[in-house]
Amino acid sequence: MSANIYHNRKAQWLAYIGLFCLLALVPALFDSPFLLNQLARYAVFAMLAVSVSLVWGYGGILSLGQGIAFGLAAYGMGMTMQMQFQDPVSDPVPSFMLTNDLSTLPLLWEPFWSTPIGLALTIAVPTIFFIGFGAMMFQARVAGVFVAIMTLAMLAAWYAMAYDMQPFTSGFNGISPPMPFEFAGVSIDPYSPTAYLICVGFLAALTLSAKLLMQSKFGLIVQAIRDDPERVRFLGYNVAYYQVIVFAISGFIAACGGLCWVMVVQYVSPTSLELTLSVSAVIWAAVGGRLSLLGAILGAYLVNGLQSYMGDELQDVWMIVLGSIFIGVVLFLPRGLVGLIEDALGYFTGKSETETSGVAIERAV
Amino acid sequence: MSVTDFWTPFELNSFLNALFIGLSIASIWLIAAVGLTIIYGTMGVINMAHGELIMLGAYTTYVLQTFFYIPFLLCLPLVFIIVSIFGLFIERTIIRRLYNRPLDTLLATWGLSLILIQGVRVIFGTAPKYVSIPSWLNFQVSLGFLHLPGFRLFIILATAALIFATWYIAYRTTWGIRVRAVMADPDMASSFGIDSNRIYSITFAYGAGLAGVAGALFGGLKTLLPDMGSGYIVEAFLVVVVGGTQLLGSIFSSIILGELASIFSYFTNDTFARFVLFTLIVIFLRFRPQGLITEGMKRR
């Protein structure tokens, strides 16, 4: 056993809590609504990256469909916020429906009159969908590349649906609720510290719970399945059960991300169901280090921050830079940037045996 | 759009026309998927940049036509050569390092596709470009109620020719035997003196070349945009996976999927048809992840 401080649980928890305290202090240090909104968006992206890290880094399931949960939740939140603006008596139907020849509110939209029911549906529908979809795949022992392709196809299907059902979703234009989200009588301005702290709060709560879960017996079994599903099956565990649960939890996290996303951007369109977003989330997690939730968060902040602050003249080549970084990480740093930190800490704090060499998947953080 | 006119009522003539459109869709999906089938089937490499190789083929045709005044038919073999050289380069620099790591090939080639899209965007701009097709292909075949644009007919024939050529190479030449030996068991093939690395390189180059030709043909159907490739990659992958990563399987699956797409969109509309089709494919894969046709060889 190595004495690498990177593998020390207390140190890990300190690092996690330190990061979230730092993030929570931002509104006190900077008084810039624009910056807060931007950082709130990064926090949402970080949630998506955490969901990828959980399902892929810990569960060994490469899902290209995290955007399904994100997008469905985004639409749910968009509908909730839109209905907060509508008036049951004088103006019951959103204007984009009227221009699409719908004179009455569709049944699908009715529950969203109530904000609590709307929020519950926003989170429950994607999670339940992920349970069903996951059960369908993992009970059939679909694995590896085939999961990637199936989630990809499912994402493309939902994208087509959001695009096509124009009277219900406003199609390509998307829904832009005219007012900020209002909860318990409080209006949450997307550029306010409140909105930012809600996003960071969600991120912190979800990440810490996920970390706690992954340290539990359940988490260990999930990681064992990642390393060798057959052997775990021989030990008598129901592999599909664990895979479905971890897949559903990742869907739940992504759904929370979708909810916060619409709260801070006040807009939802089919782009949230585009393949680009889902694959970007995979890139963030991979660059930061998919074997660590903290790594995935850092990856999301780093890549998005780089994109925002690289300067206008370099924006043209941003995709080239991102693509090159990604190829470089896949080829030379399979454990991402935190893999480097792990090696560095191992070098300074003690013998790390041969553990840190090679591509082999190691004990996760 | 109201619910009443969502469903198109059945009518024999236009339904038969839809069946022909389905065949045309099938030929497009098949030609986009052949290269992918060969690369995935032989090497187990998930090439997410395949759509971008198609895009490169289309832009290469545009360059050859606009700056070198090369006739369309002559462009096809030239594009094949140019794109396969590019494929060889990719294989040597990136893919080669990732054998036995299929999921990582998926990710690395995705990064590559980002680079290619943006690279083309920087060089050619975002304005759409066009490939002109020879005027003798601008005819319309009318068989009673059937109306077939000449160029679509040409694509169907070209697809058939390419499939035949690929089949011939794979099953009637020594080189094809070597490829299939490596496919079945790389270690055993090596011990018989087959250089599997070389086979992989050439196979990847060949698959890339096929993507290039597909791009040249699609250029005649659609405007050229840097991100045009992403429109083909999902369908192409589904054709490959549903077919079972074999030439024959891809032929069957592209015909079935193309016809289904056309029939669904006949009754409803294009995007809803996509939704139904993709959902059906996901359900199909749940029950038969090995695809339509398998040869009982090693998988995954």
**For residue B1, pLDDT beyond 80:** no
**Mean pLDDT of chain B, nearest integer:** 85
Shortest Cα distance, chain A CAs vs residue B93, angstroms: 10
Are the beta carbons of A171 and A163 closer than 8 angstroms? Answer: yes
More confident residue, B72 or B294: B72
CATH 3.40.1350 fits B12-287, yes or no: no
The pLDDT of residue B211: 93
**Mean pLDDT of chain A, nearest integer:** 87
CA pair distance A208, A202, nearest whole angstrom: 10
- pLDDT interval class at A317 (50, 70, 90): confident
Instruction: Dump pLDDT digits (tens) for A328-337.
Output: 998 888 888 8
Closest CA to A297 of A42, A33, A29: A42
The reply to whether A330 touches chain B by the CB within 8 Å rule is yes
**For residue A108, pLDDT beyond 90:** no
Cβ neighbours for A1, distance < 8 A, ≥ 6 positions apart: none
- Token output for B125: 């701009």
The reply to whether A106 touches chain B by the CB within 8 Å rule is no
Of the given ranges (A281-290, A353-362, B18-27, B172-181), which has the lowest mean pLDDT? A353-362
Residue pairs spanning A and B at CB distance below 8 A: 128
- pLDDT interval class at A346 (50, 70, 90): confident
Query: Looking at residues B77-87, what average pLDDT do you find?
Result: 95
CA-nearest residue to A283 within chain B is B107
**For residue B213, pLDDT beyond 90:** yes
Judge: B102–A101 Cβ closer than 8 Å, yes or no: no
Of the given ranges (A1-5, A39-43, B45-49), which has the lowest mean pLDDT? A1-5
Q: Residue A254 is part of which domain span?
A: 12-273
Cβ neighbours for A86, distance < 8 A, ≥ 6 positions apart: A92, A93, A94
The pLDDT of residue B7: 65
3-state secondary structure of A61: coil
The pLDDT of residue A142: 81
**For residue B272, pLDDT beyond 50:** yes
Query: Looking at residues A239-255, what average pLDDT do you find?
Result: 95
Tell me if A328 is assigned to some domain: no
Are the beta carbons of A51 and A62 closer than 8 angstroms? Answer: no
Tell me if A362 is assigned to some domain: no
- pLDDT interval class at A351 (50, 70, 90): low
Judge: B102–A154 Cβ closer than 8 Å, yes or no: no
Are the beta carbons of A138 and A240 closer than 8 angstroms? Answer: yes
User: So where are chain B's domains?
Assistant: 12-287
Give me the interface pTM, i.e. the ipTM: 0.83
Give how many domains chain A has, as a whole number. Answer: 1
The pLDDT of residue A355: 46
Tell me if A45 is assigned to some domain: yes
Q: DSSP characters for B21-90?
A: HHHHHHHHHHHHHHHHHHHHHHH----TTHHHHHHHHHHHHHHHHHHH---HHHHHHHHHHHHHHHHHHH
The pLDDT of residue A311: 65
Tell me if A360 is assigned to some domain: no
- Token output for B205: 């180059």
**For residue B12, pLDDT beyond 80:** no
> Which residues in chain A have Cβ-Cβ distances shorter than 8 Å to B237?
149, 152
3-state secondary structure of B146: strand
The pLDDT of residue A268: 92
The reply to whether A108 touches chain B by the CB within 8 Å rule is no
The reply to whether A283 touches chain B by the CB within 8 Å rule is yes
Query: Looking at residues A66-87, what average pLDDT do you find?
Result: 92
CA pair distance B212, A213, nearest whole angstrom: 48
Tell me if A306 is assigned to some domain: no
Alpha carbon of A42 to those of A69, B34, B234: distances in Å? 18, 40, 28
More confident residue, B13 or A204: A204
> Which residues in chain A have Cβ-Cβ distances shorter than 8 Å to B286?
136-137, 140, 142, 150
